[in-house]
Every structure is written in structure tokens, then in C-alpha cells.
Amino acid sequence: MRVKTDEKRQEILRVAAKIFGQNGYHGASMAAISAELGGSKATLYSYFSSKEELFAAVLMQSLDERGQEVFLVLEENADAELTELLRNFGRNYLEFITNEEVFALFRSAVSEEFSGKLSQEIYKNGQVRGWAEVEAYLADKINRGLLAGPSAKILSLHLKGLLECGIAEPIMYRCPPYLEFDEAVDTAVAAFMRAYGCEPQAQI
């Protein structure tokens, strides 16, 4: 019975992600989600007590499933060559934050007013948690003498800003990115290594 319950919950989250992604938070409704599921609203409310709770669950699952894959690259390949690993991470990160469904959900989260400080929780459990992994990775590289700078936190924030430059802001305004992903990542990592790297780096 538990397996069936978990499967139903996952089905609800999958359909809700689609509806929220297409219509935004306020444009979506529990009625539309239950209709897409082919069931009753009573069944839907037995899993999630409100649209806000369902929206939060959709976002958290999206962060867990897609975001962890991005940031775990650093942990699973910690001993790989630094510049190449940062490039691989950067491409994966940009693909994640510009995913149409993910970005639509994030846009709704930051543009709407929610009770219970939902947007703050999303930020803490998403960007803050993910970039804490980057900070830990960079701290290890500082300790090994491969990077140098004021702190791993500052380095992680600068790397994030460099990677997102010309990509995240235009998309937020529904405009195309200014740069291709490969160019954005390669130039961002090159600038980062020129600023903080302690080993010779090949020219792009």
C-alpha cells in the first residue's frame, strides 16, 4: 500500500510541475491539476493540503533531483583537473538554471507573495545549499595551494556571478542569453583562474 501511495504522490508532483511550469503559480489551480491527473480534488487534497504546499513540494523535488546532480559533480570528481572540472560544473549549472520548467518555477517562487516565507525556504534549500558544496570544494583547493583568495565563500560567489553573467539576467526578462553556454563557461572559468588560480592554466 505504501508503494502505491508513493507512486501516486510522484505522479501528482510530475503533473503539478507541468501545470505550474506552463501557467505559473497563480495561473495554476488544484482543479486543473486534479483534472490532468484524472481524479478528484479530494484525492489531491489528501496528499497536499494546499496549492502552496504542493508548489513547495514540486520545487523541492526539482531542486533535489536536478540540482544535486549538478553539485555532486564536484564531490564525485574532487581530484580531477581543476580547470576542466570547473568547466564541466559550469556547463551543468547553466543547463540547470536555464531549464525551462525549473526556471518557470523559480520565477513564480520569487515573484509571488507566499505565506510562511516559502521563497526564503526555497532559496535556502536551493541556491544556498548547493553553493555551500561549491564553497567546500573551493576551500579544499585553497588548502591544497591550487587557489588563493580572501575566502572560499568569496570565491564561490565570484564564480557564481561569472558563470551567470550574460545568461541568467536576460532569461529572467524572457530574452535570449547574450552568450552561448560554452563561451560563457570558458571565459568565466578563465577569468576565475586568472584571479585566483595558483597553477599555470592553458589559454582558451
Query: What Cα–Cα distance (Å) separates residue 93 from each residue in 35, 36, 47, 72?
Result: 34, 31, 32, 11
**Residue 29: its pLDDT value, please?**
93
CA distance between the termini of the chain? 56
How crowded is residue 108: how many other Cβ atoms within 10 Å of its Cβ? 22
Closest CA to 134 of 192, 181, 65: 192
In a domain, 137, yes or no: yes
Query: Do the domain assignments include residue 190?
Result: yes
**Distance (Å) of CA 184 to CA 68, 146, 154, 172:** 22, 23, 20, 17
Residue 12 has pLDDT above 90, yes or no: yes
> Is position 140 within any domain?
yes
Instruction: Please report, for the domain that includes residue 167, its CATH number.
Output: 1.10.357.10
DSSP, residue by residue, 75-118: HHTTTS-HHHHHHHHHHHHHHHHT-HHHHHHHHHHHHS--GGGH
Domain span at 113 = 56-196
Number of domains in the chain: 1
Residue type, 95: E
Task: Give Cα separations from 153 to 68, 132, 157, 160, 194 (angstroms).
Answer: 19, 8, 6, 11, 18
Side chain identity at 22, as an amino acid letter? Q
Q: Which pLDDT value is given to residue 171? A: 86
On whether residue 16 sits in a domain, the answer given is: no
- Tell me the pTM: 0.74
DSSP state, 147? B
Residue 42, domain member (yes or no):
no
Percent of the chain with pLDDT over 90: 48
DSSP states along 116-141:
GGHHHHHHIIIIIHHHHHHHHHHHHH
CA distance 74 to 57: 26
Q: What is the mean pLDDT of residues 194-202?
A: 76
Would you say residue 128 lies in a domain?
yes
Q: Which residues are CB-contacts of 126 (< 8 A; sequence separation ≥ 6)?
A: 59, 63, 67, 106
Q: Is residue 153 part of a domain?
A: yes
Higher pLDDT, 139 or 102: 139
Q: How many residues does the chain have?
A: 204
Is residue 10 included in any domain, yes or no? no
- Predicted confidence (pLDDT) per residue in 69-99, tens digit: 787 778 777 678 999 999 999 999 999 888 8
